[in-house]
Amino acid sequence: MADRLLEEVGALLREAASDVVVPMFRRLDDADISEKAPGEVVTVADRRAEELISARLRRLRPGSVVVGEEAVAGDPDLLRHLRGDGDVWLVDPVDGTSNFAAGRRPFALMVALLTGGEPAASWVYDPLDGIMAVCRAGVGTWLDGTPARTSGPAPAVDALRGTATTRFLPPAVRRTVAAGGGRIGELLPGQHCAGREYLDMLTGAQQFVLFWRTLPWDHAPGTLLVREAGGVARRFDGTDYHPADGDHGLLVASSPEIWDEVRAALLDG
């Protein structure tokens, strides 16, 4: 993989992790953690890492706009840029903040680049396991420098392994998913870190993941990684996911065939 942008942003995430995020892991005190919304925490590591990453991304692409998770918490109007022209960076400085704040793993650092309103490149980095996934739209996905593919012969439904994050599902949908879970070989509860879920799809540890909330910084990076590796990322009705559409419900699968199988098992009732 010889791609200067992929390498530069990957190096930036490693630097932010080693200089800001990892040194604070399991070293936070109460003053370092606050609640930005009911049930949603933010740490000093999130804010410092986002500041570092954002400043450097703007220098990499002069004139670009950064839409960071913590910046949007203070100015939701930043989301208007997701359909804009030019280059827009989506930044999740610590994905899995609740894990990080509690001294648990996993957590990840994530970035996606939108160009002209469409996903163009993305990066997901798990600093504790040292796993980096990167991709370019139309070119492919690399996992630690090796091309990654998720597609292949679809296993039977009762041999599939994947995650359904049910915390935010509407009650009726949650009941349907729970009832259908017995058709799946292994239905996991989720790791509270979308970035790690996407990495596990690339490694083959699981073949699908289902979400309700789809904040753009949580899913723009991972969905592009999976798509470029041969998978699909669609809303529950089968329409393709876009980070600016603002809808709820997302099913990501290693192949179109697996998406159809999981959709039928978990959502058709």
d(CA 172, CA 162): 21
Strand, coil or helix: what is 41?
A: strand
Stated as kind and residue range, the H or E segment containing 269 is none
d(CA 234, CA 241): 5
Q: Burial-class residue 182 by CB neighbours within 10 Å (0-12, 13-18, 19+).
A: exposed
d(CA 201, CA 208): 7
d(CA 111, CA 71): 14
Look at strands 40-43 and 65-68 and give their pairing: unpaired
d(CA 226, CA 84): 24
Q: Count other C-beta atoms under 10 Å from residue 154's C-beta.
A: 18
d(CA 230, CA 141): 9
Q: What is the CA radius of gyration of the chain?
A: 18
| pLDDT, tens digit, 9 for 90 and up, residues 145-188 | 999 999 788 889 999 999 999 889 999 999 999 999 999 999 99
d(CA 235, CA 100): 29
Range of lowest pLDDT (4-8, 83-87, 238-242): 83-87
| pLDDT, tens digit, 9 for 90 and up, residues 13-40 | 999 999 999 999 999 999 999 998 888 8
Over residues 85-101, mean pLDDT: 97
